C-alpha cells in the first residue's frame, strides 16, 4: 500500500500517542516507561522543530519527531529525533520513508545535524539509521535505567552538510 508523508498536525496526536505507547510498552526504544496521552506530546508540535507523519490509506502509521537538542544558541541547529512505526506496519520501509521526510524538513528548517541515542540491542533501528547514512558515534555506557536495569545506548548523528557554513 502506498505511503504518504506530511507535517504532523494537532489531530494526528491521538494516533501518534498510540504508536508511541506501543514502543514504550515494548521496552525496546525509550527510557520512558509511563503511557503518554495526547496532552503529554502536544508540545512536540510547538517546539519549532519539524515533526512528520506517514499515512497509509489515510491512517497515521508512523511518525518522526525532532526537538531542540539544547537551549544554547550555538547548538540551535541540532535536532534530537525519535521515530516510531505502528507495530503491524514495521519492516516494510515505512520507518525509512518517514525518516527521509524528517531529514527533508530538517534541511528546510536550517537544522545542520540530527542526533539521537538508540538502545544497543535495538537492531532494526540501528540498521535503518545506518542505511539512511547515520553514523554511530560511540556508546554511552549505563546511560540510565529502564525497569531498574542500567542500559547502554549508541549515539547516532546525521550531518546535513548544506546547512553548515
Ligand atoms: C525502528 C523502526 C522505527 C524501524 O522502522 P521500520 O519501518 O520497521 O524499518 P524499515 O523497514 O524502514 O527498515 C528496517 C531495517 O532494519 C532491518 N531489520 C528489521 N528487523 C531487524 C532485526 N531484528 N535485526 C536486524 N535488522 C533488522 C530491516 O531488514 C531493514 O533493513 P534493510 O532495509 O537493509 O533490510 C520500527 O521498527 C519501530 O518503530 N520500532 C519500535 C520503536 C523504535 O525502536 N524506535 C526507534 C527508537 S531509536
CA Rg, the chain, in Å? Answer: 15
Q: What is the pLDDT of residues 133-163, one digit of tens each?
A: 999 999 999 999 999 999 999 999 999 977 7
Is it the case that residue 5 has pLDDT exceeding 90? yes
Predicted structure pTM score:
0.96
Neighbours of 63 (CB within 10 A): 28
| Per-residue pLDDT, 162 | 75
Q: pLDDT tens digit string along 14-29?
A: 999 999 999 999 999 9
Report the nearest atom of ligand 1 relative to the CA of 85.
39
- The order of strands in the sheet holding 4-7 is 4-7, 51-56, 59-68, 78-85, 113-119, 149-159, 135-146
Domain count of the chain?
Answer: 1
Give the confidence band of 79 by pLDDT, cuts at 50, 70, 90.
very high
The pocket around ligand 1, CB under 6 angstroms, is made up of 23, 28-29, 83-85, 90-96, 116, 118, 122-125, 127-128, 131
In whole angstroms, what separates CA 67 from the centre of its chain?
9
Residue nearest to atom 1 of ligand 1 (CA): 125
Give the domain extent around 101: 4-163
The set of cell numbers assigned to 38 is 495526547
CATH (domain of 114):
3.40.630.30
Amino acid at each position: 500500500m502506498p505511503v504518504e508523508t506530511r507535517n504532523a498536525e494537532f489531530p494526528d496526536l491521538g494516533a501518534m500517542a498510540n504508536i508511541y505507547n506501543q514502543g514504550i510498552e515494548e521496552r525496546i526504544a525509550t527510557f520512558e516507561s509511563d503511557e503518554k496521552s495526547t496532552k503529554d506530546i502536544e508540545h512536540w508540535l510547538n517546539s519549532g522543530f519539524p515533526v512528520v507523519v506517514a499515512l497509509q490509506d489515510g491512517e497515521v502509521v508512523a511518525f518522526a519527531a525532532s526537538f531542540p537538542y539544547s537551549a544554547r544558541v550555538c547548538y540551535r541547529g541540532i535536532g534530537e529525533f525519535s521515530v516510531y512505526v505502528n507495530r503491524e506496519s514495521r519492516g516494510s520501509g515505512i520507518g525509512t520513508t518517514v525518516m527521509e521526510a524528517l531529514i527533508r524538513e530538517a534541511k528546510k528548517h536550517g537544522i545542520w545535524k540530527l542526533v539521537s541515542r538508540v538502545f544497543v540491542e535495538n537492531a532494526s533501528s540501528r540498521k535503518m539509521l545506518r542505511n539512511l547514512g547515520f553514523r554511530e558515534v560511540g556508546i554511552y555506557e549505563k546511560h540510565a535505567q529502564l525497569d531498574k536495569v542500567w542500559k547502554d545506548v549508541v549515539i547516532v548523528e546525521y550531518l546535513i552538510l548544506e546547512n553548515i557554513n
